[in-house]
Structure 1
Amino acid sequence: MRKVLIIGATSAIAAATARLFARDGDRMFLVGRREERLRATGDDLAVRGAELAGWHVLDVNDLDEQDAALKEAEEALGGFDIVFIAHGTLPDQSLCQSSVDVMIEEFQTNALSTMALLTRVAGMMEQAGKGGQIAVITSVAAERGRQSNYVYGAAKAAVDTFLEGLRQRLHKSGIGVTTIRPGFIDTPMTAEFKKGVLWAQPEDAAKRIHSAISRGADLVYVPSFWRWIMLVIRLIPRRIFKRIEL
């Protein structure tokens, strides 16, 4: 039985992944922004076999409250084997372009709040000295800035780079770091997007994420074909790329 902390636990991908941890009989602590959804998610996971240690309502942008949430989770679980960070928003790029305040708010949610959590979690796990695995959802958008979502992409790129350094730092402590780069996933956050063949369901994404965390993978694309799509996009010369509408 593993001790699993999930932050952003009520998101579609996180909830689907949590159901797989529940199937394994793992002990979980849930953190999210909406109390009613946390309760409902916790009840569902308990029915599916999880041992629920508790939950905590948290706005991840309240950096002072992060510490209290993590300490409560650590005490309830008795330490962390797995910490899975899955919160985020999909900003309106046009609003970010026209408002510095909106741009900063979105960067705060999608980058700085995660980096603050990681700084705290890494220190706690290092001090515990028992190893473990940290996993964080970023995005394929991190790999190259595109005019349609470069604020979101820049935030996720910051987290990607942060995770790369954290992975190197924590390796000697026996703590693994998994970077999860989803492509198009059919969730409430993407409800307004037209769906096509490149889109995946949260349940399929969860299977790949659960496997990657369980085996301690460094990096996983979800679905796997996004590795090759992004390779092609990264190889497009800048003089050509800047003329493409993406």
Structure 2
Amino acid sequence: MLKVAIFGATSAIAQAVARRFAGEGARLFLVARDAARLEVVAADLRARGAASVETATADLAETGGHAALVEHARLALDGLDAALIAHGTLGDQKAGEADAGAMLRELGVNFLSPASLLTHLGNLMEAQRHGSLAVIGSVAGDRGRASNYVYGSAKGGLRVFTQGLRHRLGRAGVAVTLVQPGFVDTPMTAAIPKGGPLWATPDRVAADIHRAMKTGPAILYTPWFWRYVMLIIRLLPDFVFKRLKL
């Protein structure tokens, strides 16, 4: 049975991914900040068929605790086959423009924290010579836009980081996947008007992530059409792009 760790386990997408692994009888290790919500999620996964569910409460923005968390996961599961890093924030772009402190906090949660976890998890999997790592980025990281370049720059940093990590760990049989969702209807996007064909449910995105954690693609655009949407956006000449309100 698979041994899977999920960081940011109470997010809507992470819960949907965890339910798929639970239905297969996986052993799970869940990390989140809210202990009460985490226990509700854990109880649900046990009821859905998970062989075991262990939990740890932590603020993942505090990178100093990451080494201990990863070791806790290894000991609790007696090894680790796969890990998903799913925590993050969608901060206020205007606040990030006006206040360097707010900007740095956004970068810390969305880039530095996942990069730290990827390093610890990558070292563990490299030593055991197998494993699958997945981290949730965003299509916002493909090209900087006025409306969300603080958030987007953190996700863009993850893109380069995971490219290099995949190149390094591939020699040890470890897969690294950057997940690039488009618009997903979750509590994090509650303030954004919704509707139309570009929006996806957490469960649709989770189905793609669950499959990718077993097959190990370098980049997963989810839903699939975002690969082509973002290709067009990346290829737009700058003199055209800067006239668009994006």
Please indicate the TM-score interval, normalised by the length of the shorter structure. Answer: over 0.9
Moved over 6 A (4+): none
Partners in 2 of 1:2 and 1:171 — Cα distance? 20
Q: CA deviation at 1:212?
A: 1.3
Amino acid at match of 1:192: A
Corresponding residue for residue 111 of structure 1: 111
Q: 1:48 matched to which residue of 2? A: 48
Q: In 1, Cα distance between the equivalents of 2:51 and 2:60?
A: 24
Distance 2:205 2:216 in 1: 17
RMSD: 0.8
- Partner deviation per Cα, 1:36-93 (whole Å, 9 max, x = no partner): 1110000000000012241111111211211111111110001110011000000100
How many aligned residue pairs are there? Answer: 245
Which residues of structure 1 form unaligned runs of 5+?
A: none
Which residue of structure 1 lines up, in the alignment, with residue 189 of structure 2? 190
Q: Deviation per CA, 1:98-152, whole angstroms, max 9, x where unpaired?
A: 00000000100000011111111111111223x0100110000000000000000
SS state at 1:112 partner:
helix
The residue type equivalent to 2:149 in the other structure is Y
Report the secondary structure of 2:28's partner residue.
strand
The aligned residue for residue 61 of structure 1 is 61
* Partner Cα distance (2:64, 2:53) in 1: 22
Q: 1:1-246, aligned counterparts within 5 Å?
A: 1-129=1-129, 131-197=130-196, 198-246=198-246
What is the letter of the counterpart of residue 111 of structure 2?
A: A
TM-score, reference length from structure 2: 0.98
- SS state at 1:214 partner: helix
CA contact (8 A) 1:42 1:52 kept: no
Structure 2 stretches lacking a partner, 5+ long: none
1:214 Cα deviation after fit = 1.6
CA distance in 2, matches of 1:216, 1:245: 35
Q: In structure 1, what is the Cα distance between the partners aligned to 2:68 and 2:153? A: 29
TM-aligned CA deviation for residue 217 of structure 1 = 1.8
Deviation string for 1:183-217 (max 9, x for gaps)? Answer: 00000000111112210010111111111112222
CA contact (8 A) 1:145 1:153 kept: yes
Which letter does structure 1 place at the counterpart of 2:188?
M
Q: Give a deviation string over 1:19-47, Cα, whole Å, max 9, x none.
A: 00011111100001110111000000000
TM-score between both structures, scaled by the size of structure 1 = 0.98
C-alpha distance in 2 between matches for 1:234 and 1:210: 27
